[in-house]
Amino acid sequence: MKLQHISGERKTVDPEKFLKVVSVNKNSFVPIYRQIANAIRHAITKGHLKPGELLPSEREIAAALGVAKMTVRQALLELKREGLVHRHRGLGTFVAFPKFEHRLSSLVSFSEDIRSRGMNPGSRILFFGHVSSDGTVAAHFGIREGELVLRIHRLRLADEQPVGIHDAYLPRDIPISREELEEKESLYALLEEKGFRLVEAEETIEAVPADLMQAELLGLSVGHPLLKVVRTVFSIGRKPIEYVTALYRSDLYRYSTRLRRESLDRGEVGC
């Protein structure tokens, strides 16, 4: 499976292709930077510029269009504020992926979530095997610290683009193999195929900065904000079946939920 950010390869927009979709009219009353921003925005929404593609540098765009570099920078900053591009120091400006909105009211796997958006889920298994549990993992499974658990550490992909890192722990006697997971892709689907019924989950979410390893895996700069999701999944009888820490790119993920005041449910009136 091709991993662009890991291998160092990146899809770069061909300069000729870029000039076919981005041009300026210096006789127009519309400011040049706005023309550039409008043209790039239109090219992105029409699919001429694809998510994840690396745009030509500010200097290259300026030279090709015959405008000042600061003018190009102003246009790209406007697109960045709109969330259409993202910039990484030392790497350049990329067409942004649309944000994945995940509703907190449903328990779905990563693969199910990505497929529902018309994209292809994928993964790279970084580690698969039994390890000694630390205090945190042991507490979630109600076992003694040091007892063996199954650890599955994966880089998660959407249309071959790295979007998250999953570090999951399961009871040691879960009868799944690395080969089965690679074939099935979805851990939840594999567990249910084995007869485990996933009923509910508890989840916490917080923002954390990417460390060096996480940044390299996700193709980000060190310190880039990530969404850290810690989830415990339960089967029938509230038996813990998975304890997972997931790290997602904050520029690609958004969580949403629906809230209701309890006082209204009780028939109370207030102001």
Q: Quickly tell me which residue has 């509910």 as its tokens.
A: 200
Give all domains of the chain, ordered by start, each with its CATH number. 11-95 (1.10.10.10), 100-256 (3.40.1410.10)
Which residue type sits at 15?
P
Instruction: Summarize pLDDT for 54-65 with one digit per residue, the tens.
Output: 899 999 999 999
Contact 104, 97 (CB under 8 A): no
pLDDT string in tens for the chain (271-residue length): 233 333 334 567 777 778 788 889 998 999 999 999 999 999 988 888 888 888 999 999 999 999 999 999 999 999 998 888 988 777 789 888 776 666 666 787 888 878 877 778 899 999 999 999 999 999 999 999 999 999 999 999 988 889 999 999 999 999 999 999 999 889 999 999 999 999 999 999 999 999 999 999 998 889 999 999 999 999 999 999 999 999 999 877 777 777 777 765 566 555 5
Q: What are the distances in angstroms from CA 110 to CA 29, 114, 207, 252, 263?
A: 48, 6, 19, 14, 35
Instruction: Summarize pLDDT for 3-37 with one digit per residue, the tens.
Output: 333 333 456 777 777 878 888 999 899 999 999 99
CB atoms under 10 Å from CB of 41, counted, come to: 17
The 3 state secondary structure assigned to 54-103 is: ECCCHHHHHHHHCCCHHHHHHHHHHHHHCCCEEEECCCEEEECCCCEEEE
What pLDDT sits at residue 113? Answer: 79
Rounded distance, CA 239 to CA 8, Å? 42
What pLDDT sits at residue 14? Answer: 73
What pLDDT sits at residue 50? Answer: 83
